[in-house]
Structure 1
Amino acid sequence: MTDVFRDSLGHNLYRIGQLVREETAKALQPFRLTPEQWQLLVVLAQHDGMTPSELGERTLRDKTTVSRILPGLVKKGWLMTEPNPKDARSYLVRVTQKQKPLVRKSMEAVRDHFAQHVFTAMTDGEQEVLLGLLLKLRTHLGD
């Protein structure tokens, strides 16, 4: 029987998203992080001191999802919170000094995992073409 979705661009993009998440999860196992947690940590490592709303905007996550993920990362010692000096109604989230090196190591682990297990299916040129096409599609869709 033929796979009815084999030639569907939409289905293949969706499925690649699922598989990329699974590969990211594998790379993050030693750090005991989910891809969703890791995404927040990476953004905070690059833009220290953000409100949960700003973090949601940067990661394309809704407020509820960010609010659900943050307490676990604070409890595990990855993040700390502090009052927002510009707005007493909100707070800022930061990666703890202790965990900053580990966030960098996790980024390297994900990069290395993808280089060894995912991108070996394509040449450097094919990777560049794919990235260009994906960016073109994102732009077309208003991202």
Structure 2
Amino acid sequence: MAFDINEFLPYRMVRLANAMSEAFSEVYEQAGLTVPQWRVLVHLAQHPGATAKQLCDLASMDKSTVSRAIKQLQQQSMLVAQQSETDKRATEMHLTPQGVALYETLTPKALAWESTLLSELNPEEKQALLVMMQKLEGHFLTP
């Protein structure tokens, strides 16, 4: 049995994810953001008050990468960190009005980019793709 890495599903999915990520970067790079900054910004918009640990889990990034992104976004006045009122050991992150405005500016561009990508598929293919992705994610990811 011959093994062809180019036909190996995990390899193909990583290549596809990398290519999509690279192409999509044009959306947030126009705003001067990096991949980690973009992910932190989006997750904070959707989960206000998240801690750095929660952001690591939400964005599937390591602690040092998230910490750098948080620091950079703070320096750009996109987010603020404050001590949790319920747990004095925890620091919660919140987008500033400037961060919210950036999120609201980039989100329609992200959705338009996704729509263009998905226009390669017909409605049945789109639905099948979503179902297959959900099945595979269910095998590896826990909600």
Per the shorter chain, which TM-score range? 0.7 to 0.9
Distance 2:71 2:60 in 1: 19
Find the residue that maps to 1:33 and give its secondary structure: coil
Q: Which residue of 1 aligns with 2:129?
A: 130
Deviation string 1:40-87 (CA, Å, 9 cap, x unpaired) is 111111111111111112222222221121100110111111112222
**Structure 1 gap segments, 5+ residues each:** none
* Aligned-residue offset at 1:5: 3.5
Contact 2:40–2:55 under 8 Å retained in 1: yes
RMSD: 1.6
Q: Which residue of 1 aligns with 2:69?
A: 69
Equivalences, count = 139
Q: Which residue of 1 aligns with 2:47?
A: 47
Find the residue that maps to 1:6 and give its secondary structure: helix
Give 1:72-111 correspondences, 5 Å limit.
72-111=72-111
* Aligned-residue offset at 1:142: 4.1
Q: Which residue of 2 aligns with 1:30?
A: 30
Return the letter of the residue paired with 1:127: K
Q: Which residue of 2 aligns with 1:121?
A: 120
Using the size of structure 1 for normalisation, the TM-score is 0.87
Q: Which residue of 2 aligns with 1:60?
A: 60
Return the letter of the residue paired with 1:119: L
Provide runs of 4+ in structure 1 moved above 3 Å.
Answer: none
Return the letter of the residue paired with 1:6: N
Distance 1:128 1:45 in 2: 27
Using the size of structure 2 for normalisation, the TM-score is 0.87
Find the residue that maps to 2:98 and give its secondary structure: coil
Contact 1:24–1:35 under 8 Å retained in 2: no
Distance 1:72 1:101 in 2: 17
Q: Percent identity?
A: 24
* Aligned-residue offset at 1:9: 1.3
Q: Which residue of 2 aligns with 1:15?
A: 15
